[in-house]
């Protein structure tokens, strides 16, 4: 299923893409430990991209990128039975895709990157800083997809009280591109249950193209040819947030494009 949403420049909406059954913790239970930004002590050094023996893949590394994947132009997303796929827009450009599978979701967004250095370490630092400045808590751990951030993001609960939502930020540096994922729902609350979403992330193919792009510019996507428009008519208040903060800024929802796989 394809859903189209408006974006305000941040890549946020994966934190609520799993629907109404999101899991929250009472804010008083949050860990009082240090943050990744505090532990770093200074700016990270951007190293060359690490090998990717299990993906995600560059389009030059896959002979048939459309085999079992949805063609979004700048990204081929693996198809999984029962999934919903939502695309998100910034202005007139589609810049992110979110795969929703049962009670979990992963948002996928690809960016241009320098030729000889990765940016995931630097982006992790920026995400950690943005969330902790808003009262959230970050743990930096080495997970199944490499180094990731596990965040407790402050939210307002339905009864008006404060709580936190659990979100995982994952990322991989490729040749002149960077793929960031935001895992939410049960895949963030219980990371051991997120194997299928992690495999979707690994098996995604990025089409960077040869044209010049500034580092961190989003790789623009397109709608599949057989997508169908379904009006949604729901709007949310827009807030300022980092373009990498995933969960910091609210998105304005537009019409949905729906396809059931």
| pLDDT range class, residue 92, cuts 50, 70, 90 | confident
| pLDDT range class, residue 256, cuts 50, 70, 90 | very low
Averaged confidence pLDDT in the chain: 76
Q: What is the mean pLDDT of residues 24-50?
A: 48
Q: Please give the structure tokens belonging to residue 110.
A: 């690809």
pLDDT reading at 47 higher than 80: no
How far apart are alpha carbons 76 and 62 in whole angstroms? 11
Q: Look at residue 29 in the predicted model and tell me its pLDDT.
A: 39
How far apart are alpha carbons 179 and 85 in whole angstroms? 17
Burial (Cβ within 10 Å: 0-12, 13-18, ≥19) of residue 180: buried
Q: Please give the structure tokens belonging to residue 235.
A: 């709007």
Q: Look at residue 54 in the predicted model and tell me its pLDDT.
A: 86
Q: Look at residue 261 in the predicted model and tell me its pLDDT.
A: 37
CA 2 to chain centre: 16
What is the C-alpha end-to-end distance of the chain, expressed in Å? 6
| pLDDT range class, residue 41, cuts 50, 70, 90 | very low
Higher pLDDT, 184 or 48: 184
Calculate the alpha carbon distances from 168 to 106, 247, 259 in Å: 9, 10, 27
Taken in order 107, 109, 115, 121, is the CA torsion positive or negative? Answer: negative
147-161 pLDDT tens trace? 999 999 999 888 888
Q: Would you kindly state where each structural domain of the chain is located, as residue ranges?
A: 2-258
Q: Look at residue 95 in the predicted model and tell me its pLDDT.
A: 85
pLDDT reading at 190 higher than 70: yes
- Give strand pairing partners of 258: 228
215-240 pLDDT tens trace? 999 998 998 776 655 545 433 333 33
pLDDT reading at 2 higher than 50: no
How far apart are alpha carbons 110 and 105 in whole angstroms? 17
* Residues 6 or more apart in contact with residue 26 via CB below 8 angstroms: 161, 163
Q: pTM of this prediction?
A: 0.72
């Amino acid at each position: 299923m394809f859903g189209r949403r408006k974006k305000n420049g941040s890549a946020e909406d994966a934190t609520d893409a799993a629907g109404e059954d999101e899991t929250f913790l009472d804010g008083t239970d949050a860990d009082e430990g240090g943050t990744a930004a505090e532990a770093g002590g200074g700016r990270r050094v951007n190293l060359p991209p690490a090998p990717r023996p299990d993906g995600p893949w560059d389009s030059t590394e896959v002979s048939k990128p459309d085999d079992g994947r949805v063609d979004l132009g700048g990204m081929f997303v693996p198809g999984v039975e029962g999934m919903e796929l939502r695309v998100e827009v910034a202005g007139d450009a589609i810049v992110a895709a979110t795969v929703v599978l049962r009670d979990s979701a992963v948002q996928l967004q690809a960016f241009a990157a320098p030729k000889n250095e990765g940016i995931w370490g630097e982006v992790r630092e920026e995400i950690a800083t943005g969330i902790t400045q808003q009262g959230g808590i970050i743990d930096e751990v080495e997970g199944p997809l490499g180094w990731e951030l596990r965040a407790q993001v402050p939210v307002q609960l339905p009864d008006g009280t404060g709580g936190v939502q659990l979100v995982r930020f994952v990322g991989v540096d490729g040749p002149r591109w960077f793929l960031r994922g935001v895992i939410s729902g049960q895949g963030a609350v219980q990371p051991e249950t997120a194997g299928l979403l992690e495999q979707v992330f690994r098996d995604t193919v990025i089409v960077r193209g040869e044209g010049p792009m500034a580092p961190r510019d989003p790789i623009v996507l397109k709608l599949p040819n057989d997508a169908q428009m379904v009006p949604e008519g729901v709007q949310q208040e827009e807030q300022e947030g980092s373009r990498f903060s995933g969960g910091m800024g609210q998105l304005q929802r537009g019409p949905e494009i729906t396809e059931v796989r």
